[in-house]
Amino acid sequence: MLIKFLEDFEPPEGLRAELLRGEILLTRSPDLVHNRIVAQVQDQIPHERWSRLQTQSVDMLDDVSAPVPDLVVFERGAGPDHGWLMPSHVVTALVEVVSKTGVDRDYSVKRSIYAAAKVPAYLITDPVMAQCVLLTEPVGHGEDADYHRQRITKFGDLTPMEPLGLELDTSEFAAYENVRPHRYP
């Protein structure tokens, strides 16, 4: 029922809605650092092979979740031609850029949701800590699901994205200013 509600729901201007484990979360539009990183990642993923969609709702199928990652990457020609939900089983990689207020959500809640849905790669791009965390090899079920493999690279270093067959150049990724560091990953 929540998925149906969300399908017809019009969030107020400047907000986006996503469903995480049965709870609807409204978040404000991201800031410029966030949006520029998303665009820089998207620009490096070859569109000849990959579809790259920003803020596309993803159906986690076995979970009452329809998150809205910052970037959804899947093989061209895979997935539906219409609708508002992309089935998680066609997704190759999801990208989240950590916001100043969404650290726990990106590193914990979404991490287990994406792993439970068996999304092959989850890239957390973190302007708080100026690093990228690539998670691969999902294992487990439900809230206990996680990724078996984790690779951390600092902004400025190349970030290998094996599932996409490329390395991301992070040299132009900006970090947030005057933000307190966190304890993740």
Structural tokens at position 134: 């690539």
5-9, 66-70, 139-143, range with the lowest pLDDT: 5-9
Measured CA to CA, the distance from residue 125 to residue 113 in angstroms comes to 17
Instruction: With a cut of 80, say whether residue 127 has pLDDT above it.
Output: yes
Quickly tell me which residue has 């404000």 as its tokens: 28
Write down the number of H helices and E strands in the chain.
Answer: 4, 12
Q: What letter would DSSP give residue 143?
A: G
Provide the whole-model pTM: 0.93
Query: pLDDT value at position 5?
Result: 85
11-21: per-residue pLDDT in tens? 888 888 988 98
If one compares 2 and 17, the residue with the highest pLDDT of the two is 17
User: Domains (ranges, CATH) in the chain?
Assistant: 2-7+31-169 (3.90.1570.10)
Mean per-residue pLDDT, 124-148: 97
Instruction: With a cut of 80, say whether residue 63 has pLDDT above it.
Output: no
Instruction: With a cut of 90, say whether residue 55 has pLDDT above it.
Output: no
- Concatenate the DSSP letters of all residues of 109-122 into one string: IHHHHHHHTT-SEE
Mean pLDDT of the chain: 94
